[in-house]
Chain A
Amino acid sequence: GAVVSQHPSWVICKSGTSVKIECRSLDFQATTMFWYRQFPKQSLMLMATSNEGSKATYEQGVEKDKFLINHASLTLSTLTVTSAHPEDSSFYICSARDAGTSGRGNTGELFFGEGSRLTVL
């Protein structure tokens, strides 16, 4: 099946620094990627929808200047947590939809990355 890879899988940083997380679709092209955040024992919360070549669409309550999303190619989307603080510590997960199966009424599946655990000290 299709593979979505995230890097890094875990990162520890100091408060005030910025951290970039990459999400790559390894064997398919993804015009749309989604970024989620998950706190311990909680469900995934959708943060934003990332569209290749255009600005991301953020969910209500998510600061777009805090969480910068770039989707410069059909296989890569990045999430940058700017000026990270301890409350930003979380598990960040991306998912991607295969552009090749879209538009044919194929419900298909959304492929998820392994997640990136961010710890801000």
Chain B
Amino acid sequence: LAKTTQPISMDSYEGQEVNITCSHNNIATNDYITWYQQFPSQGPRFIIQGYKTKVTNEVASLFIPADRKSSTLSLPRVSLSDTAVYYCLVARVLMNTGFQKLVFGTGTRLLVSP
């Protein structure tokens, strides 16, 4: 599975847009890019997933350039409750069995201040 690299930490203020970039230079053709959020003492929670171009859901957007060697998670107008660790993962999809296992990288610790 492709290794991911993302900033260790980021700081922001309420109401701002936060963009967290992740690099995955060795991404393979069958790999999907997935982002999870984790609060202290809780299991990770799925945020968004994409393969290429742009994906948007009710909580975030995911931008993936044509070469797919990086991706950017965009959180619009963050609030204090968005303070958490955000993990970028690359997961390989096998058509017969679904997702392969997910291997977590270091994650980005986002701190949102008033």
Q: Which residues of A contact B (CB under 8 A)?
A: 4, 6, 32, 34, 36, 43-46, 49, 91, 93, 95, 97, 101-103, 105-115, 117
Q: Which residues of B contact A (CB under 8 A)?
A: 32, 34, 36, 38, 41-46, 49, 51, 87, 91, 93, 95-99, 101-107
Say whether B103 contacts A46, CB under 8 Å: yes
In the complex the two chains form, what is the Cα distance from A71 to B106 in whole Å?
29
Say whether B98 contacts A43, CB under 8 Å: no
- On chain B, the residues within 8 Å of A113 by CB distance are 43
Contact of A101 among B41, B98, B107 (CB under 8 A): B98
Say whether A102 contacts B107, CB under 8 Å: no
- Decide if the interface of chain B is mainly helix, strand, loop or mixed: loop
State whether A112 and B101 are in contact (beta carbons under 8 Å apart), knowing that A103-B95, A103-B96, A105-B93 are contacts in the complex: no
- On chain B, the residues within 8 Å of A111 by CB distance are 46
- On chain A, the residues within 8 Å of B99 by CB distance are 97, 102, 107-108, 110
* A47 → chain B closest CB, angstroms: 11
- On chain B, the residues within 8 Å of A34 by CB distance are 101-102
